[in-house]
Amino acid sequence: MEYGTSYFGVRNRDHAARDLDRFADEGLNAVLHTFSERDRMYYEETMADLVADSAERGFRTYVNPWSVGRVFGGEALSEFVGRNPGACQVTNDGERIAAACFNAPEFREYMREWTEAAAGLGADVLFWDEPHWFIPEWFDQSFPDDAWGCRCEHCRAAFEAEYDREMPREETADVRAFKADSLLEFLREMMALAAETGAENAVCLLPSEDAEHGLTDWETLAVCEDLDVIATDPYWDVFEGADSPESFVGYFSEKVVDLADRQDLRSQIWIQGFRLGPGKADEVRTATRTAVEHGVDSVFMWGYDGCASISSIACAEPDRVWRAYLDEVQAARTRDD
């Protein structure tokens, strides 16, 4: 069983070593290092050192494209979108937005390079985190209710080639199918590249079963040849429509465990450790226990120390949240032994 946390914000090797030591002391055996556009540009060797230091302590190591192109999850900026406006998504109203398009050739090339660099860090797993199309609510500007993306020149041309008619302005079932297919094709290409280098692939889908947030039919991902870990992050306190941690985490744990069993993959659940208000430690315990009891192969928290170091998403009581997670990990490890 794998117990991990995401790690970010520290690029000083000595400081990171102290954090890794305490994670190991607390019973964790996996760590995800964020690898943003900035990291790739300025910290590549540093990142390779951090990955090596993690492996040396017995951690299974993951790296993710943190907010790269603004189409993956994360609290990082994207230089790519500034440099390549023509490779960014366009809404159905024709508005260019600050997020790359999965179908833009420049972004595909950029991501191939990112994948090679990420694999070159020596991590065990490349973690494709929350790949998604334009989600209006995630932007701090308002859009019409029926806004969707992407309807850029590349998407329109690809849609027309496949459906033999112009891409509609309305988000029809065909448009949704096209978006899902495009996202899958993008992931398949990147995962194949990673697999060639010997790295494993994990894809973490947002806990929504629709085309904006990822995929309606998760099985289409689960059957991909180069996928090794199917993950989701049922953050019960931020997703609209989520109820209690028991039922939200329980539902999605069951889903990834079932897919993993049928497609010979490993399952992974992420526990919310950010943006939690006061008095939420018990919910963290419940969520963690729920995932473990459902038999997932891997559980992770986003992120270490309850995200205390990222003020915009830090928990109100980060120490309690982190402690709650670690206590449940330790209880589970005792049962494992």
Min CB(211)–Zn ion separation in Å: 13
Q: Is the dihedral of CA 311, 289, 325, 64 positive or negative?
A: negative
Q: Does 167 bind Zn ion (CB under 5 A)?
A: no
Complex with Zn ion: residue 76 or 87, whichever CB lies closer: 87
Could you say which of 16, 68, 76, 152 contacts Zn ion (CB under 5 A)? 152
Could you say which of 121, 155, 204, 260 contacts Zn ion (CB under 5 A)? 155
Q: Does 100 bind Zn ion (CB under 5 A)?
A: no
Min CB(246)–Zn ion separation in Å: 39
> Which candidate, 141, 71, 61, places its Cα nearest to that of 100?
71
164, 148 in Cβ contact below 8 A?
Answer: no
Complex with Zn ion: residue 103 or 272, whichever CB lies closer: 103
What SS3 class is residue 160? Answer: helix
Q: Does 101 bind Zn ion (CB under 5 A)?
A: yes
Stretch of 154-162, 211-219, 287-295, 305-313 lying at the interface with Zn ion (CB under 5 A): 154-162
Complex with Zn ion: residue 97 or 155, whichever CB lies closer: 155
How distant, in Å, are the alpha carbons of 121, 181, 182, 226 from that of 168?
Answer: 42, 17, 16, 33
Per CB under 5 A, which of residues 58..77 are in contact with Zn ion?
none
What SS3 class is residue 100? Answer: strand
What SS3 class is residue 90? Answer: strand
Q: Does 97 bind Zn ion (CB under 5 A)?
A: no
Cα(101)–Cα(15) distance, integer angstroms: 36
How distant, in Å, are the alpha carbons of 101, 155, 166, 254 from that of 87?
Answer: 6, 11, 20, 37
Could you say which of 61, 64, 92, 103 contacts Zn ion (CB under 5 A)? 103
Q: Does 150 bind Zn ion (CB under 5 A)?
A: yes
Q: Which residues bind Zn ion (CB under 5 A)?
A: 101, 103, 150, 152, 154-155
